[in-house]
Amino acid sequence: MEVKYREEQVITSPYVTQADKMAVSLRHLADRFLKMEPKKQCFTPEEMTEMYDRITEKVCRGCSRKSECLERKKAEHWQLFYDLLCTIEGYGAELNKEMKQHLQRECIQAPRFLRESLETFQEAKRILVWNNKMVQSREGCAAQLDSFADMLCHVTRDLDASIFTDPPLAKKGCAAFQKGRDPDAEFRFFCG
């Protein structure tokens, strides 16, 4: 059984062939890891909409100004939500005075809207950070798998180079086995 590889080296050992197949499989797995979901630096518009809907569902459900805020002034309400998230990102839970006043002017349930926004944003940010750590771990695993595949290929090349055949000795051995055993016996000697 002869298999040709890209280095134009003919490999005759089944052990080396199997190890090379394993290395190819490891490289394929590493490529799969690298092609999975990449790191994200910010939220998608869909995620922002989901956060907005979740907050308005909790806060604005029983509000007397719900129709005014969510239907007539939807663009201003969205802008308020976006500005609030930007301020939370910059200042944390303690908003600057200007943003607090703006929020209180626009929303009669400002403290509750702020609290729900903080909780929702922090939870979404935790998920984003966690997913990015998983992506980073996956990239590290892919690099290790690729390195292991390279090491396995080098070791198997050394193994293949250390395997040799001695045709006269093989003929003697075959003749001895043909007298009473398997006539197609094959001899392989491994020297360490």
pLDDT, averaged in runs of 10, over the chain (192 residues) = 46 79 93 90 90 88 81 82 85 78 85 89 93 94 94 86 72 70 52 42
Give the pLDDT confidence score for residue 165 in this predicted structure: 67
Task: Report pLDDT for 147.
Answer: 94
What's the per-residue H, E or C state across 33-76? HHHCCCCCCCCCHHHHHHHHHHHHHHHCCCCCCHHHHHHHCHHH
**In a domain? residue 189:** no
Given a contact cutoff of 8 angstroms between Cβ atoms, the answer to whether 136 and 39 are in contact is: yes
Is 171:153 a contact under the CB 8 Å cutoff?
A: no
Let me know if residue 22 belongs to a domain. yes
Residue 93 and residue 79 in one domain: yes
- Rounded to 5 degrees, φ, ψ at 151 are -60, -40
Predicted pLDDT of residue 130: 95
Q: How many domains does the chain have?
A: 2
Q: Residue 158: which domain range? A: 3-39+135-166
pLDDT at position 192 is 39
The count of C-alpha atoms lying within 13 angstroms of the C-alpha of 55, restricted to the half-sphere facing its C-beta, is 31
Predicted TM-score (pTM) of this structure? 0.65
pLDDT at residue 164 in the model: 66
Q: Assess whether 77 and 121 both reside in one domain.
A: yes
Q: What is the pLDDT of residue 188?
A: 52
pLDDT of residue 22: 92
